Structure 1
Amino acid sequence: MSREVPLHFLFFCIILTISSCFAIRGSQEGLILQELKRGFDDPLEVFRNWNEHDNSPCNWTGITCDAGEKFVEEVDLSNTNIIGPFPSVVCRIDGLKKLPLADNYVNGSIPADLRRCRKLGYLDLSQSLIVGGLPDFISELSRLRHLDLSGNNLSGPIPPAFGQLLELQVLNLVFNLLNTTIPPFLGNLPNLLQFNLAYNPFTGTVPPELGNLTKLQNLWLAGCNLVGEIPETLGNLAELTNLDLSINRLSGSIPESITKLDKVAQIELYQNLLSGPIPVAMGELKALKRFDASMNMLNGSIPAGLGSLNLESLNLYQNDLVGEIPPGLGSFASLTELKLFSNRLTGRLPESLGRYSDLQALDIADNLLSGSLPPDLCKNKKLEILSIFNNVFAGNIPESLGTCTSLNRVRLGGNKFNGSVPSSFWGLPHISLLELKDNNFEGLISPDIANAKCLSQLVINGNTFTGSLPTEIGELRNLSEIIASNNFLTGALPPSVGKLQQLGKLDLSNNQLSGELPAEISSCKQLGEINLSKNQFSGSIPASVGTLPVLNYLDLSDNLLTGLIPSEFGNLKLNTFDVSNNRLSGAVPLAFANPVYEKSFLGNPELCSREAFNGTKSCSEERSERAKRQSWWWLLRCLFALSIIIFVLGLAWFYRRYRNFANAERKKSVDKSSWMLTSFHRLRFSEYEILDCLDEDNVIVSDGASNVYKATLNNGELLAIKRLWSIYKTNASNDNGFQAEVDTLGKIRHKNIVKLWCCCSKSDSNLLVYEYMPNGSLGDLLHGPKASVLDWPIRYKIALGAAQGLAYLHHGCVPAIVHRDVKSNNILLDEDYVAHVADFGVAKILQSCARGADSMSAIAGSYGYIAPEYAYTLKVNEKSDIYSFGVVILELVTGRRPVDPEFGENKDLVKWLCNKIEKKNGLHEVLDPKLVDCFKEEMTMVMRVGLLCTSVLPINRPSMRRVVEMLQEANPHHKAKATGKDGKLSPYYCEEPTICIV
C-alpha cells in the first residue's frame, strides 16, 4: 500500500541537497587555492592565514567572495612579492571575476590555460616581468572589461583577437616591447574608456579608426615612434579628457577637429558677447582637459579653436609651430600649465593670461614672442615657474610679480626688458633661480635680496645695473652661483661674500668694481671659478686664495693689482689662470713655467722669471744677488726655527718610542694566542704587528659595528685593518659580513679588487687586513671638497677600472659572484687613482646558472643604488650589480649624489637625469660644471652607458663584459674601434644621450 510523501519533507530534502552542493563547491575552491599557494615562493608570508583546515577561504588574505560569502569572486595578490609562474590552477574557480597580480615576479609568458577563466572581467599583470607575445586567445575572455599588462617585456604584434573584446573598458599596454604598427581593429572596441599604449617601439601612424572610440576618456600614445599626421578623426572623441601624443615624430599641423568636439559655435558666441572667463557650464561642453603633443615635428599654427576649450594643461613644446598664441587661452579658468617653448611663435601673450586661473607653470622660452608681460600672471599667487628667455619681450617687470611669493624659478634672459627691477622682486622668499641676463635692466641690486633665502643661482649679466653689490648678499647661504658680468657695478667686493659656503662660481667681470680683494673670499671652500677681470681692483692678491681646495679657474686680468703673485698659488690645480694687464711685480712662481699659461702674465712690466717665459723678462743677476743678501737674515731665522722644530720632533719621537715600548710590554701580558690568523698572500708581517696597531689613535673610520685603523708597520708599509664586532660581542657567528668577505676576497686576485692580505678571528671580534688606499673612497672624494681633483680623465679611468673589477666577478669567477652593494663609497682609490672594488660583506656566490637568480631573505644595498626588480622580488643576479654600477657612472658624469632633495619627491639620480635630458639644453644642465667642455663628447658617451645600465627592465641591461667594451669605445683612443667596416659608428657611440623612461 503506497503512502504519499509530505510536501514539507520534499522541500527539506531539496534544501539539504543544495546546501551540500554549496559546501562541496566551497571546499573545492579552498583546495584550488591551496594548490595555488604551493606554486609560489612567499617571502612576505601573505599566505600565512590560508589555513587548509579552514573550509571557508572567504576570510583568507586577498580573497573576496560574493555577497553570500559562499563562492570566490576575486583573488587579489598584487604587490605581495610572490615569486613563481602564472597560477593556471586559479582558472578552475568557476566564479572568478577579478584577478589582480600586479607588482610581483610572475615569470614566464601568459599561459594558454588563462582561456579557462571564462567569467574573468578584471585582469592586472602589470610590472610582473612577463615575457613573450600577447595571447591570441584573449577573445575567449569575452567578459573582460579591465586588462593591464603594462611594465613587462611583452613583444611582437597586437593580435586581432584584441579587437573582439567588445566589453573592454581599460586597455593598458604601456612600457613593453611591442614593435609593429598600432592595428586599426582596436577602433572596434565600443566601450573603451582608457587606451594606453605609450612607450612601446611601434612603427607607423596613428590609425584614423581610433576616432570610432566615442566613449574614450584617455588616449596615451607617448613615445611610440609614430610618424605622419594627427588624424582628423580624433575630433570625434567627444568624451576625451586626456590626449597625449608626445615624444613621437608626428608632422603636419594640429587638426582643427580636435578643437571642435561639439557646440563650438555656442562657445564662440559667449566669448564675443561676454568678457571674463568661459562660464563653468560652457566649459562642460568640452571634455578635453590635458593636451600634450610636445617633442614632435608639428608645424603650422596653434588652432584658434583651442582657445574655446577649458584646458588644464597644454604642452606643445619642441615642435616647429608658428603664428600667435590664441587669445582664448587667457580665459581658461582651469589652466595650470602652459608649455610652448622651442617653437617659432610670434605676437603677444594673451593679456588676460593668469587672471582667471591658478597658473603654476609658464614656459614659452626660445620663441619670437614680443610685447610686455601680462599684469595678472600671478594674480592667484600660484605661479611657480616663469620661463620666457630667448624671446623679444620688452617693457618693465610688472610690479605684481614682486608680490608673487610662490615663484621658484624665473628665467627672463635674452629679451629686451628695461627699467629697474622692483625691490620686492629681488627678495622673493622661495625663488631658487633668478635669471635676468642679456636685457636692458638698470638701477641697483636691492638690499631686499636678503629675503631670498632659497636663492641658489643669481644670473644678471649683460645688463646696465649700477651701484655696489649689497652687503646683504652674504645672508644667502644657499647661493651657489653669482654671474653679474658686463654691467656697471661699482664699489668694493663686500667681505660678506665669505659667508657663502655653497658658492661655486663668482663672475663679476667687466664692471667698475674697485678696492682691495677681501681675504674673506678664501672662506668659500666650494669656489671652483673666480672671474674678476676687467675691473679696477687694487692692492695685493690675498695669499689665502691659494688655499681654496677646488679652484680651477682664476681670472684677475685687466685690473690695478700690485705686489707679488702669492707662492701659495703654486698649490692650485688651475685649468685657467690669468693675471695679465695689472701692476704686479717680483718673480713668477715656478709652478707656472708651463706653455698652458703662455699669456697669463702679459702686461705686467715688473714681473720677471728666472728664465724668460710666459711673456715676462728674466730677473737680472743683480736683483738675484740683492735678494740673496736679504735672504741671509731669513736664513738665520729659519735655522733657529728649524732647530726648535728638530728639538720638538725629537721629543715627540722619544715619546712615541717610549709609548710603543710600554704598549708592547703591556700587550705581552695579553694572551695573543687567542687570535687565529688566516693568510691569503705571502705576508711580510706577523699578527703581533697587526695587533699592536689596534690603538684608538689610529682609528680613521668608526661606526656601531666596526672600526677601521690605519696601520704603519715597522718596515714603513701601510695597511688598513677593519675590526668587526659580533652583534652580541661573545658570539662571532653574527659576523657583520666577515665570512662573506673571507669567502670572496680570500680567493680573488685582480688589480681592480681590493687585496685582502689576511684575517684574524677570536670569540668577540674579527680582523680583516687590506692594502691601504691613500685616496679613500670615490664617494667621499667625488662629493667632498676635493672633487676638483677628479678631472674627467681620472673619472673615466676610475669608471673603467671599477667596471673591469665587476666584470671579473661576473665572468671570471666560477661560480659568478654578485657584489650586491655596488656604490661609490665601496670603490677605493690608491695613490694613482686606480679603482679597487671593496666591501664584500653582503656579496653572494651564485650557486647555479640554471636558477638565473638567487632569492635573498632581505634587501642588501644602499638607497639610490638598488635595482627596481631587486627591491620587490628579492631576486639577486648580475643585473642588480649592473644597475648599481650604472648609478655610479651617472654620479661620475654629473657630480651629483644618487639621492638629493633637489631631485624632487620620490626621485633619485636616474629619474632626475632622464627627466632633464628630455628637455632642450638638458644635457648642459646635467654634466658636472666642474669638468671642462672639451670632454663633453666623451662624457656624453659614458652617460649613455650609465643609462643603459640603469634600464628599468633587467633584460635591457648589458653584461659587465659589454659595459667594459662600451667604456673603452667611449675613450677617444678607442673611437677607431667604434667604427665598423661600413664607416658607421657603433650603436653605443652617440653624440647625445637618447630619451630614457624610468
Structure 2
Amino acid sequence: MQLIRTQFLLFLLFFFYFIGFSSSTVADDEVSVLLSIKSGLVDPLNSLKGWRWPDKAAAPAAGNHPVHCNWTGVVCNSEGYVEKLDLSHMNLSGRVFDEIQRLKSLTSLNLCCNGFGSSLPKSVANLTTLQSLDVSQNFFIGSFPSGLGRAGGLVYLNASSNDFTGFVPDDIGNATLLETLDLRGSFFQGTIPRSFRNLQRLKFLGLSGNNLTGLIPPELGQLSSLETVILGYNEFEGGIPPEFGNLTSLKYLDLSVGNLGNEIPPELGRLKNLETVFLYKNDFEGRIPPDIGKMSSLQLLDLSDNMLSGEIPAEIAELKNLQLLNLMCNQLSGSVPSQLGSLPKLAVLELWNNSFSGPLPSDVGKNSPLQWLDISSNSFTGEIPSTLCDKGNLTKLILFNNAFSGPIPVGLSTCSSLVRVRMQNNLISGTIPVGFGRLGKLQRLELANNSLTGQIPDDISSSTSLSFIDLSRNNLHSSLPSTILSIPSLQTFIVSNNNLEGHIPAQFQDCPSLTVLDLSSNHFSGRIPASIASCEKLVNLNLRNNKFTGEIPKPIAMMPTLAILDLSNNSLSGGIPESFGISPALETLNVSYNRLEGPVPANGVLRTINPNDLVGNAGLCGGVLPPCSQNAEFTSRRRSLHTKHIIAGWVIGISSVLALGIAIFGTRSLYKRWYSSGSCFGESYQMGSGEWPWRLMAFQRLYFTSADILACVKESNVVGVGATGTVYKAEISRSNTVVAVKKLWRSEIDIETGNSNDLVGEVNLLGRLRHRNILGYTLKIDEKVDIYSYGVVLLELLTGKRPLDSEFGESVNVVEWIRRRIRDNKSLEEALDPNVGNCKHVQEEMLLVLRIALLCTAKLPKDRPSMRDVITMLGEAKPRRKSSSSSNNEGNAANKDEPIFSTSPVNGLL
C-alpha cells in the first residue's frame, strides 16, 4: 500500500513537472517569435517597450498565464499561444520578419495605419489559421503575397491604401468563407480574377483606385451576398455587366470614374435594396433607364459627367427615399418632371451644364429638406419658385446662366441657412429684397447681369459674413449705403454698369479684407477718398467711366498689393503722382480720358506704360509721350500767332503756313535725332529713302520674326526687371534693329462656370483635394476668381475655418493665421481640419496643397503664380505613396492621384 502511494506521488510530481516544462517551452517559443518580430520594427513612439524577456526569477508558476500574453497588442488563447496580434495605429515602420509564420495559432493580424514601406513577406500566406488580416493604410510595396487561399477560415482581408503592384492573386478565390475583400488604393494591374465567383459569402468588394483593366467579370453577378461593390477609378471597359441585376442584396454600388462606356443597363432596376449608385464620369451614353425608378430603396443617385441624353424619366419621381440626384455635365434636355418637386427627402439637386428648358417645378423645396440646388448653365425660364427654402435648410442656390424672369422671391432674403446665392446672367427684375444682410451665414451674393432696379438695401451693410458681392450690369439707382464697404469679411465688391450716383463712402479704414473694388460705369462723383489707401489687401481698383473730379490721391500709389488701377473716363485733374512709378505691386495703370496735365513720370511701370492708357489728357507730356519742351514751344507759338491775328489778319495766314512748315520740319528732325541717338535703338537709320524709323503704331509692318525675338530672350540680354516681368535687349542684325522685349511674369486667366471642363474636372479641388475623400464633395470653381481669392478658398477648406474667424484675433484672417504659425515654428498639421482625416498620407497631401495656397496668397501680386501654374502644381501635389510605380504602370500614371474611396461630388452634404 505504501508502495502504491509512493508511485502515485511520483506520478503526480512528474505530471506537474511535464506540464510546467511544456508551458515554459510554449512561452519561451512565443516570446522568441514576438521579440524577433519586434527587432525588425522601428518604433518611434516606444509603443512596444513592454516587449522584453521576462525575469526568470519572477517567472509565473505552472498553470499561470504566460507573461507575453499581457504585452501590448497580444491576445493569447487558453493554451498560451498568440491568437491575435494587433499593432495598428502605432506609427511603426521597418520590416515584418518571416518569423511571424511561427505563430501557428494566429487567427487575427492587424498592422493597419502604420508606416511600413517594405514588402509584405510571402510567409504571411503560411498563416493558414488566419481569419482576419488587415495591413491597410501603409506603404507596402511589391506583389501582394499569394497563397492566402489556403487560409480556409479567412473571413476579412483588407490591404487597401498601399503601394502594392502586380496582379491580384487568383487564389484569393479559394478563401470561400471571405466576407470582406478590400484591395483599394494601390497599383494592382490586370483584370479582376474570375475565381472571385467562388466567394459566395462575400459582402464587401473594394478594388477602386488601381490600374485594373479589361471587362468587369459578369461572374460577379453570381455573388448574391454582395452588399457593397466599389470598383471605380480604374480603366475598365465594356460597360456594366447586365448580370449585376442579379445582386439582390446589393446596397452600395460605386463604379465612378471608370470610363466604362455603353449604356446603363436597365437590369439595375431589379435591385430593390440598392441605396447608393455612383456612376459619374464613365462616358455612359443613351438615355437614363426608366427602370431606375423601381429601385425603391435608392437614396443617392449620381450619374454626372457622362454623355447621357434625352429627358429625365418621370419614373425617378417614384423614388420616395431619394436624397441626392446629380445629373450635372451631361447632354440632357427637356423639362424637369413636375413630380420631382414633391420628393419628400430630396436634399441635393444638381442639374448644371445640360440643356434643360422650361420652368422648375413650382413646389421644389416645399416638402423636402432641400440643401443644395444647382441648375446653372441651362435654359430654364419662368419665375424662381418661392418654396425653395420652406424647410429652412437651403445652403447653396446656384441658378446662373439661365433665363429666369420675375422678381427674387422674398422668402430667400429670410432663409437663414443660405451660404451662397448665385443668380447672375438671367432676366430677373424688380428690386433686391431687404434681408440678405441679416443672413448670418451668407458669404456670396451674386446678382449680376439681370434687370434689377431700385437701390441697394441698407441692411447689406450690416452683414458680418458676406465676402463676395456682385451686383454689376443691372439698373440699380441711388447711392451706395454709407457703410457697405465696412463689412468685416468683404473681399470682393462689384457694382459696375449700373446707374449709381453720389460720393464713394470714405470708411476704407474699416475694410481689412477687401481685395477687389469695381465701381466702374456708374455716375459717381466727387473726389476719390485718400482713405482708400488704407485697404492693404486691395489688388484691383476699378473706378473708370464715372464723374470723379480732383487730383489722384498720392497715397494710392504706395498701396502694398494694388496691381490693377483703372481711373479712365473721369474728370480728374492735376498730374500723375511721381510715386506711381515706384508702386510696389502695380502692374496695370489706366488714366486715359481725364483732365490730367504735366509730365508723365519716366520710372518704374510708367516707363513702359502703354500710351493708350494716357490718351485723352491734352496736358500730359514726356515719358512715353512726346517731350514736354516741344509741347510748350508749340503752345507758345500758337499764343503768339493768336495775338498777331488781332493786329492783322493777313499776317496770321502767312505765319500759320510758316509755323506749320517749321513744325513739320522740326518734328521730323527731332524724330530723326531722337531715334538715331540711341534712346530707343542702338543703331542709326539711313533716312535717305525718305522712310520714317520703326515706331509703335497700329498695323506696323515688322521686319523681324518671333524666332528672331525668342533667340534674344536669354540671361545675357537682360536689361531690367520690373513688377510685371523681365526686359531683354533684342538685336536683329538682318534688319539693323534693336528692340526691347518684356517677358511677363504671369497672365490672367478667368475661370468661368461650365465653359472650362478641364478646370471644373481637374482643378476644382475635386481633382486634387478629393483624393482619399479629403473633401467628399465637388468644389466647383464656377466663378471668376483672382489667384489670391483662390488661395484663400484653399486655406479655408484645408483648415475648416472661415476666411475671417474670431479665434484668429482682431484683423487677422486665415492667411495671416497660417503665416504666423509658420513664423512661430508651430505645427502646420495641427492647423489642418481634423474632420478631413489624420492619417499620414492624407495630411501629406493637405500640406502640399496648403503650400500652393500660400503661394497664391503672397503679399505681392508679382510673387503669385498664374492659374496655369496652379493647375500644374495641383496636378503634382500628391503624396509620395502615389508618386511612383513600376515601369509596367507608366501608361496609367496619370490616374495614380485619383481617390480610392470614391464618393459623389456632393456626398459630403448628406
The question of a shared fold, defined as TM-score above 0.5 by the shorter chain, is answered with: yes
Q: Determine the C-alpha separation between the residues in 2 that align with 1:994 and 1:436.
A: 40
For the 8 Å contact 2:844–2:879, the answer to whether it is kept is no
**Residue 580 (structure 1) aligned to one of 579, 584, 592:** 592
Aligned-partner residue type, residue 601 of structure 1: L
The answer (yes or no) to whether the contact 2:845–2:879 under 8 Å persists in 1 is: no
Q: Say whether the 8 Å CA contact 1:242–1:291 is kept in structure 2.
A: no
Partner of 1:52: 53
Query: Which whole-Å CA distance do the structure 1 matches of 2:244 and 2:267 have between them?
Result: 7
1:620 aligns with 2:548: no
Report the counterpart of residue 460 of structure 1 in structure 2: 471
After TM superposition, the structure 1 = structure 2 runs for residues 335-414 of structure 1, keeping only pairs within 5 Å, are 335-414=346-425
Work out whether 1:148 is the aligned partner of 2:158. yes
SS at structure 2 position matched to 1:150: coil
Matching residue of 2:615: 602
Secondary structure of 2:485's match?
helix
Which residue identity lines up with residue 538 of structure 2 in the other structure?
L
Call closer, same or farther: CA 1:405–1:319 in 2, change over 3 Å. same
The alpha-carbon distance between structure 1 residues 400 and 72, as it changes in their structure 2 partners (threshold 3 A), is: farther
Q: Does 1:557 align with 2:568?
A: yes
SS at match of 1:158: coil
Report how far residue 357 of structure 1 moved.
3.9
Counterpart CA distance in 1 for 2:581 and 2:383 is 52
Alignment of 1:473 onto 2:484: yes
CA distance, structure 1, for counterparts of residue 19 and residue 316 of structure 2: 63
Change (3 A) 1:297 1:946: same
Give the whole-Å Cα distance in 1 for the aligned partners of 2:861 and 2:88. 46
Stretch moving more, 515-524 or 395-404: 395-404
For residues 313 and 354 of structure 1, what CA distance do their matches in structure 2 show?
13
The alpha-carbon deviation at position 187 of structure 1 amounts to: 4.5
| Residue correspondence of structure 1 range 517-666 to structure 2 within 5 A | 517-572=528-583, 574-591=586-603, 594=607, 596-604=609-617, 606-610=618-622, 613=625, 618-621=630-633
Q: Distance in 1 between matches of 2:370 and 2:13?
A: 71
Distance 1:989 1:197 in 2: 17
Answer whether contact 2:856 2:865 (CA < 8 A) is retained.
Answer: no
Query: How do residues 519-918 of structure 1 correspond to structure 2 at under 5 angstroms?
Result: 519-572=530-583, 574-591=586-603, 594=607, 596-604=609-617, 606-610=618-622, 613=625, 618-621=630-633, 903-904=799-800, 905-906=833-834
Match of 2:455 among 432, 444, 461: 444
Separation (CA, whole Å) in 1 of partners of 2:844 and 2:454: 42
The aligned residue for residue 170 of structure 2 is 160
Cα deviation for residue 146 of structure 1 reads: 1.7
Residue 158 of structure 1 deviates from its aligned partner by 1.9
**Alignment check: 8 A CA contact 2:609 2:624 kept:** no
Aligned residue for 2:657?
none
Cα distance per residue 1:333-381 (max 9 Å; x no partner) = 4444333333334444444433444333333333333443333333333
CA distance in 2, matches of 1:52, 1:530: 74
Structure 1 residue 130, shift from structure 2 partner: 1.2
Task: Report the residue type matching 1:212 in the other structure.
Answer: Q
Moved more, 317-326 or 114-123: 317-326
Counterpart for residue 653 of structure 2: none
Which of 259, 262, 282 aligns to 1:249? It is 259
Whether 2:50 is the aligned partner of 1:39: answer no
Structure-2 separation of matches of 1:86 and 1:994? 26
| Aligned counterparts of 2:219 and 2:169: Cα–Cα separation in 1 | 16
Is residue 92 of structure 1 aligned with residue 93 of structure 2? no
Q: Name the CA shift for 1:435/1:33 in 2 (closer, same or farther; >3 Å).
A: same
Deviations 1:223-276 (A, max 9, x none): 223344334333433443333333332434444443442399xxxxxxxxxxxx
1:484 is aligned with what amino acid?
V
How far the C-alpha of 1:88 sits from its partner, in A, is 3.1
Deviation by residue 1:101-120 (Cα, 9 ceiling, x = unmatched): 01223343232211221121
Q: Which amino acid aligns with 2:101?
A: C
| Amino acid aligned to 1:245 | L
Counting only pairs closer than 5 Å after superposition, residues 966-981 of structure 1 correspond to structure 2 as none
1:948 to 860, 876, 887: 876
Question: CA contact under 8 A between 2:601 and 2:623: conserved in structure 1?
Answer: no
Point out where structure 2 has 5 or more consecutive residues left out of the alignment. 60-65, 275-292, 638-720, 728-744, 746-770, 772-786, 801-832, 837-841, 901-910
Q: Using the TM superposition, give the Cα deviation of residue 100 of structure 1 relative to its aligned residue in structure 2, in angstroms.
A: 1.0
Q: What one-letter code is carried by the residue in structure 2 that aligns with 1:583?
A: R
Question: 1:168-567 counterparts in 2 under 5 A?
Answer: 168-262=178-272, 286-309=296-319, 310-327=321-338, 329-567=340-578
In the alignment, the residues of structure 1 paired with residue 467 and residue 310 of structure 2 have an alpha-carbon distance, to the nearest angstrom, of 39
Task: Output the CA distance in 2 between the equivalents of 1:988 and 1:171.
Answer: 23
Match of 1:379, SS state, is coil
Matches within 5 A, 1:126-141: 126-141=136-151
Q: CA RMSD in A?
A: 4.6
For residues 316 and 613 of structure 2, what CA distance do their matches in structure 1 show? Answer: 58
Query: When the two structures are superposed, what TM-score results if normalisation uses the length of structure 1?
Result: 0.61
Match of 1:642 in 2: none
Higher relative contact order (CA 8 A, sep 6+): 2
Shift of 1:506: 0.9
3-state SS in 2 of match to 1:619: helix
2:171–2:195 contact (8 Å) kept in structure 1:
no
Structure 1 pair 330–491 and aligned structure 2 pair: CA distance change class (3 A): same
Deviation at 1:424, TM superposition (A): 0.9
Instruction: Provide the secondary structure at the position in 2 that maps to 1:94.
Output: coil
CA distance in 2, matches of 1:109, 1:509: 64
Q: What does the per-residue CA deviation read over 1:306-337, in whole Å, with 9 as the maximum and x for residues that have no partner?
A: 43332333444333344444555544444443
Once the two structures are TM-superposed, the CA of residue 25 in structure 1 deviates from its matched residue by 3.8
- Inter-CA distance 613–412: structure 2 relative to 1 (3 Å threshold): same
Same amino acid, percent of matched pairs: 33
8 Å Cα contact 1:430-1:452 kept in structure 2: no
Scaled by the length of structure 2, the TM-score of the pair is 0.66
Q: In 1, Cα distance between the equivalents of 2:412 and 2:541?
A: 32
Q: Is the 8 A contact 2:561 2:861 kept in 1?
A: no
1:420-462 Cα offsets, whole Å, 9 max, x none, are 2221124321122222222222222111113321211112222
Amino acid at match of 1:588: V
Return the alpha-carbon distance in structure 1 between the equivalents of residues 373 and 2 of structure 2.
94
- Displacement of 1:610: 3.9
- Matched residue SS, 2:541: strand
Q: How big is the shift at 1:487?
A: 1.8
- The change in CA–CA distance for 1:178 and 1:954 in structure 2 (over 3 A counts) is closer
- Structure 2 partner of 1:667: none
State the secondary structure of the residue aligned to 1:341.
Answer: coil
Q: Which residue of 2 aligns with 1:29?
A: 30
**Structure 1 residue 593: Cα displacement:** 6.0
- 8 Å Cα contact 2:374-2:397 kept in structure 1: yes
Per-residue deviation, 1:74: 1.3
Secondary structure of the structure 2 residue equivalent to 1:449:
helix
